[in-house]
Chains A and B, each alone.
Chain A
Amino acid sequence: MSNTTPEPEDLKRLGKRLEEVRQRESAKAPASPPTSMGIAFRFAAEMMSGLLVGGGMGWGIDWALGRLFSIHTRPVFLIVFFVLGAAAGIRNVMHAAKELNEQSAAAMNAAPSVKDDEEER
C-alpha cells in the first residue's frame, strides 16, 4: 500500500494522454486492403445494379402507364431510364474508385516514407 493517493489532476492528465494515444492509433488503423477480385466485383456490382434499377424503373413506368392509364409509351421510358441508370452506375463506380484511391493514399501516408536518393541528385 503506497501512501500517496493519486491526485485528480494526475488522473486527468493520464486521461488526456490516453485519449491522444487512442486518436493516434485510430488514425493509422489499417483498413484491410481489398483483393483485386474484390475491387473487380465491387465495380461490376455497382455498374450492373445501376443498369438493372434504371432499366427496371423505366420498364415499370411503361408498364404502369400502359396498364393503368392505357397510355402506350412502351419503349420511351425504358430507353430514358436505362440511360439514366447507366449514368448512375458510372457515377457509383467513380465514387467507389475515388474511395479506393483515398484508402490506398492513406495507407501510403501511414507507411513510413523512404527518401528517394535518385530524386535528390
Chain B
Amino acid sequence: MNPMEQFEIHPIVPLHIGGYDVSFTNQSLLMCIVVAAASLFLTLSVSKNRLVPSRAQSMAEMSYEFVANMIQSAAGHDGLKFFPFVFTLFIFVLFSNFLGLIPGSFTVTSQIAVTFSLAAVVILTVLIVGFARHGLGFLKLFVPKAPILLLLLLVPIEIISFLTRPISLSVRLFANMLAGHTMLQVFAGFVILLGGAGGVLSVLSIAPMFLIVAIMLLELLVAFLQAYVFAILTCIYLNEALHLHDHH
C-alpha cells in the first residue's frame, strides 16, 4: 500500500519520436477525458437553450456568470477580453480536480509538470499583455516608490517576487492535490490494516472509514477552491498588466 503509487505515470501506447519519449500515458488519457467531458458538458447542456433552464443548463450558465463576475471584480471591465482564457483555465482545473477524485482515476493536476505549464502560460500572457499595452513602461512594475538607495535593494526583490509567481501558482495547486490524495490513500490503508487485524480491531476499522468520507467532502471543497484560486490569481496578475497600478 504505497500512498504515492497513485501518482505514477504509466505509458499506455509507447511512442518515441526523435529520441524523445512521447508515449500516450494514463496522464494523457485523463487529460483527453477532462477536455472531452468539459466540452461535452458545456455544449450539450446549452444545446436546448431554453428560457427556463434545465438543471444542466443552469449549471453551465452559473459557471459562466461566476467567472465573468470574478474577472470583472478582479480585473475590471476591460479584463473581460480575457474571459475565454480564464474560463478555459478554470474549467480545465476544475474538471481535472473533480475527475481525479473518482476512485481509480488519475489526478492530472497532481503533476507539477502540468500545473507549472499552466502557470507558465499565465505568466507569459501577463508579460505579453503588459509589454504590448505599456511598452517598456511595464518595467515600472518593478520600481516601488522609495529613495534611490533603497531601490538598489528593492528592485531585485521585486523582480524575484514577480518570478516567484509561476512557481507559487503551480506549487499551490500541485501540493494541495498531492496532499489530499495522499491523505485519502493513507486512511484507506488504515481501514485495510485494521480490518485484517482481526477481533476488536476489525470492528474499529469503521472509524477511519468515516474519516475518509469526511476527507472526501473536504477534498471536494478543495478541488473547487483551488480552481477558483488559480483563476482569480490569473485575473489579479492580468489586472496588474492591464492597469499597472502600484500595488503597495
- On whether the two chains bind one another, the answer is yes
Whether A45 and B168, one on each chain, are in contact in the complex, defined by CB atoms closer than 8 angstroms, is yes
Whether A53 and B175, one on each chain, are in contact in the complex, defined by CB atoms closer than 8 angstroms, is no
Q: In the assembly, what is the distance between CA of A47 and CA of B229, in Å?
A: 17
Q: In the assembly, what is the distance between CA of A87 and CA of B153, in Å?
A: 10
CB distance from B245 to the nearest CB of A (A): 15
Whether B69 and A84, one on each chain, are in contact in the complex, defined by CB atoms closer than 8 angstroms, is no
Interface of B is mostly: helix
Whether B168 and A35, one on each chain, are in contact in the complex, defined by CB atoms closer than 8 angstroms, is no
CB distance from B153 to the nearest CB of A (A): 8
B175 contact set on A, CB distance < 8 A: 41, 44-45
B214 within 8 A of A: no
Given contacts A49-B164, A50-B164, contact A34 B225 (CB under 8 A): yes
A29 within 8 A of B: yes
B228 within 8 A of A: yes
Number of A-B contacts (CB under 8 A): 75
Whether B161 and A50, one on each chain, are in contact in the complex, defined by CB atoms closer than 8 angstroms, is yes
B9 within 8 A of A: no
Q: Could you give, for residues 33-67 of chain A, a 1 whenever the CB lies within 8 Å of some chain B CB and a 0 otherwise?
A: 01101100110111011101110010000000000
Whether A53 and B167, one on each chain, are in contact in the complex, defined by CB atoms closer than 8 angstroms, is yes
Given contacts A32-B228, A85-B160, contact A49 B176 (CB under 8 A): no
Q: For chain B, residues 72 to 89, give those with C-beta under 8 angstroms from any C-beta of chain A.
A: 73
Given contacts A26-B73, A32-B228, A42-B172, contact A37 B164 (CB under 8 A): no
Whether B222 and A37, one on each chain, are in contact in the complex, defined by CB atoms closer than 8 angstroms, is yes
A49 contact set on B, CB distance < 8 A: 164-165, 167-168, 171
B167 contact set on A, CB distance < 8 A: 45, 48-49, 52-53
A88 contact set on B, CB distance < 8 A: 157-158, 160-161, 164
B157 contact set on A, CB distance < 8 A: 84, 87-88, 91
Q: In the assembly, what is the distance between CA of A102 and CA of B30, in Å?
A: 38
- In this complex, the member of B157, B163, B168, B172 whose beta carbon has the largest number of chain A beta carbons within 10 angstroms is B168
Q: For chain B, residues 195 to 248, give those with C-beta under 8 angstroms from any C-beta of chain A.
A: 218, 221-222, 225-226, 228-229
Whether B172 and A45, one on each chain, are in contact in the complex, defined by CB atoms closer than 8 angstroms, is yes
Q: In the assembly, what is the distance between CA of A54 and CA of B163, in Å?
A: 9
CB distance from A21 to the nearest CB of B (A): 15
B3 within 8 A of A: no
**Beyond known contacts A26-B73, A44-B175: 12 more, CB 8 A cutoff:** A29-B73, A35-B222, A45-B171, A48-B171, A49-B165, A49-B167, A52-B164, A84-B153, A88-B164, A89-B161, A91-B161, A92-B168
